[in-house]
Amino acid sequence: MLTCIIRYQIDPTQKENFAQYARNWGQAIPRCGADLIGYFAPHEGSSTLAYGIYNIPNLAAYETYRQKLASDPMGRENYAFAQAQKFLLREDRTFLKLASAPHGSPE
């Protein structure tokens, strides 16, 4: 299992646009095959950093997921929304593997 962490730099004056973008992905991402953990908007500290986090079985599944997302009506609309409103200033993806498993129970 891989965890994709998308780090966004957002325009701090457009937090509500990012929140709408996140809600839209909350519908489209699971429908297209990824296990969405969530989208996280700034609250305290940095006003420009936001994250999207989801799990995907492997990179082959990621490629299939990306194709589905690109053809999904809400996915296409959300990409266009972000382009039109310009609230995403930067977007970086990192794929990580869980290294701390198995997790034990507290004693």
Task: Give me the number of domains the chain comprises.
Answer: 1
Residue 106 forms part of a structural domain = no
Phi, psi for 42 (deg, rounded to 5): -60, 140
Task: Give the domain CATH number at 57.
Answer: 3.30.70.100
The Cα 21–Cα 81 span in angstroms is 8
Residue 103 forms part of a structural domain = no
**Intervals of the chain under pLDDT 70:** none
Residue-number span of the structural domain to which 71 is assigned: 2-96
Burial class (CB in 10 A: 0-12, 13-18, 19+), 25: buried
Q: What is the pLDDT of residue 16?
A: 96
